[in-house]
Chain A
C-alpha cells in the first residue's frame, strides 16, 4: 500500500514530466487504482514503480489506460434513457441541427446507445455526436463500434427497459464473441481524446452527457468542469450526469434547472 506522501510525489512527477494533472482527483479511489496497478504489474516497490513511470513514456500510456475507470454499458440506467426519449429528444427535435458531446465516453457503449435512440426518434440524420475521453485507447476502441457478445443479453434487457420497441439485434451483426454495430451510425460520430482537467471548450452543444466521470473528481475540480460545460452549452441546452452525480453543490448550479427526477439539468441563462 502506498502512502499519501508517495502518492503526492507521483502526482507531482506526472504533472512535471507529462503535463497530466491528477492532483484534484478524489484521493481514495485514485490511490486504490495506483495500488491495483502496482500489484497488477508486479512492481516490488513503490520506488521501482515511480522510476518506471518517470523513465518510460510507453509505460505512461499504460498508466493512463489502467488508472482510469472505464466500466460502462449500453443503456446504463434504462430510466435515464427513457427520460431522454420522453423529455429531451422532443425538444432537441425542434433544432435544425443537433450537437451532442459525450465527455468521458469510455469504450463507446453510451454513444451507440444515444445514436440508437436518436435514430428511433428520427433525429439521427441531423445529429452529430462528439465522443471524447482522456484515455486514447478507449477512444480508439469506441470508434470501432465493436462490443463483446457476452454483454448483449443484458444490453438487450436495458434497451427494452429504456422504452425500445424494436428487436435490438437489428442494430448489430454477430461475429465470434463480438458484435459489430451498424457502421452507418459512425457517420454521425466524431471521436477524439480530450482531457476535461486541462483542455477548453471546442464547440457549442445542445446536450452534454458526462456520466460517472465526476465522481472521480474532487469538488473544486467538479466545479471547474461544470464551468467548462456551461461555456460549451447553448442557452436552453441540457446537461446529463450519472445517477449519483449532481451540479447542486457547484456555483454553476445557479444557471441550471433540473428536469424531472433524473440527473438531467437545463441551462436557463
Chain B
C-alpha cells in the first residue's frame, strides 16, 4: 500500500490537440524520457470509431506505455493515458479518472476544456498544459485556467501548426508561458518539475 501511495501522481501533464495534432504528438511522445515521475494525459478529437486504435499508433513511437484512460483508474507516473472517443475525461481529487458521456462542449467529446479545467482544480501549480494544432477553439479556456491556477502552459506556435486556429485562440485570450515548435515541446515535459 505504501509503495502504491508513493507512486501516486502528485503532478501531471495534459496535452490537447485536434486536426493536425497527430504528427506533433507523435513527435513529442517519441522524445519523452523512459521514466517520468508524473502521468501524461492526452485529449484528442477523433472520429467516434471504437475499432480505430489510436493507442497502438501512439504506443509504437513512445518509450512510455500508452493506454486508453479507464473509468475509476488511478493515475500512475510514467504512463500516457489517452481519452476514449465519445467520453469526456475528468480527474478526481484522489487522482483517479472519471468518464462522462454528457453533452458535447464546443462540438467536441472528449472536450479538451473539460479535462484541462478539471486537471487545473486538482493539480493547481503542479500541472503542465500543452495545446497543439486544431481547427476550432477548444482548449483555450482550460489552458488559461491552468495558468491562473499557477500551472505552466505551452502552445504550439501557430506558424508551426498545420491548423493554427486552436493555438491562436489560446494566444488571443492570455499569454502562455511558452509558444514552441512541435520539436521543442518534449524537452519542456522532460524538464517539468
The answer to whether B50 touches A215 (Cβ under 8 A) is no
Q: Is residue B90 within 8 Å, beta carbon to beta carbon, of the partner chain?
A: yes
The answer to whether B93 touches A245 (Cβ under 8 A) is no
The answer to whether B99 touches A215 (Cβ under 8 A) is yes
Given A32-B114, A69-B102, A27 contacting B92 (CB threshold 8 A): yes
The answer to whether B90 touches A29 (Cβ under 8 A) is yes
The answer to whether A249 touches B100 (Cβ under 8 A) is no
Q: Is residue A212 within 8 Å, beta carbon to beta carbon, of the partner chain?
A: yes
A245 contact from B50, B71, B90, B118, Cβ within 8 A: B71
Per-residue contact bits, chain A 29-53, to B (CB 8 Å; 1 contact, 0 not): 1001100000000000000000000
Per-residue contact bits, chain A 238-249, to B (CB 8 Å; 1 contact, 0 not): 000011111001
The answer to whether A26 touches B103 (Cβ under 8 A) is no
The answer to whether B72 touches A219 (Cβ under 8 A) is yes
Cα A27 to Cα B98 with chains together (Å):
9
Min C-beta distance of B129 to chain A, whole Å: 17
Q: Is residue A71 within 8 Å, beta carbon to beta carbon, of the partner chain?
A: yes
Given A28-B98, A245-B71, A249-B72, A4 contacting B84 (CB threshold 8 A): no
A4 contact from B93, B100, B101, Cβ within 8 A: B93
Main secondary structure of the interface of B (DSSP, over half): loop
Q: Is residue A172 within 8 Å, beta carbon to beta carbon, of the partner chain?
A: no
Give the nearest-CB partner of A69 in chain B: B102
Q: Is residue B37 within 8 Å, beta carbon to beta carbon, of the partner chain?
A: no
The answer to whether A28 touches B118 (Cβ under 8 A) is yes
Main secondary structure of the interface of A (DSSP, over half): loop
The answer to whether B92 touches A69 (Cβ under 8 A) is no
Size of the B side of the interface (Cβ < 8 Å), in residues, is 20
Cα A245 to Cα B101 with chains together (Å):
12
- Give the most central of A28, A218, A243: most B CB within 10 Å: A28
Q: Is residue B87 within 8 Å, beta carbon to beta carbon, of the partner chain?
A: yes
A69 contact from B100, B114, B121, Cβ within 8 A: B100
The answer to whether A71 touches B101 (Cβ under 8 A) is yes
B98 contact from A4, A215, A243, Cβ within 8 A: A215
Q: Is residue A77 within 8 Å, beta carbon to beta carbon, of the partner chain?
A: yes
A216 contact from B92, B93, B100, Cβ within 8 A: B100
B101 contact from A32, A79, A212, A222, Cβ within 8 A: A212
| Neighbouring A residues of B146 by C-beta, 8 Å | none
The answer to whether B93 touches A215 (Cβ under 8 A) is no
The answer to whether A32 touches B100 (Cβ under 8 A) is yes
The answer to whether B50 touches A77 (Cβ under 8 A) is yes
Min C-beta distance of A166 to chain B, whole Å: 24
Min C-beta distance of A143 to chain B, whole Å: 23
Min C-beta distance of B72 to chain A, whole Å: 6
Cα A79 to Cα B118 with chains together (Å):
31
The answer to whether A27 touches B93 (Cβ under 8 A) is yes
The answer to whether B90 touches A32 (Cβ under 8 A) is yes
Min C-beta distance of A116 to chain B, whole Å: 21
Q: Is residue B166 within 8 Å, beta carbon to beta carbon, of the partner chain?
A: no
The answer to whether A244 touches B87 (Cβ under 8 A) is yes
Cα A174 to Cα B42 with chains together (Å):
42
Q: Is residue B58 within 8 Å, beta carbon to beta carbon, of the partner chain?
A: no
Min C-beta distance of A112 to chain B, whole Å: 19
Cα A246 to Cα B99 with chains together (Å):
13
CB within 8 Å of A: which residues of B?
50, 70-72, 84, 87-88, 90-93, 98-103, 114, 118, 121
Q: Known pairs A28-B100, A29-B90, A32-B118. 19 more at Cβ < 8 A?
A: A4-B93, A26-B92, A28-B90, A32-B100, A32-B102, A32-B114, A69-B100, A69-B102, A71-B101, A71-B102, A71-B103, A79-B50, A215-B87, A215-B98, A215-B101, A218-B72, A243-B50, A246-B71, A249-B72
CB within 8 Å of B: which residues of A?
1, 4, 26-29, 32-33, 69, 71, 77, 79, 212, 215-216, 218-219, 222, 242-246, 249
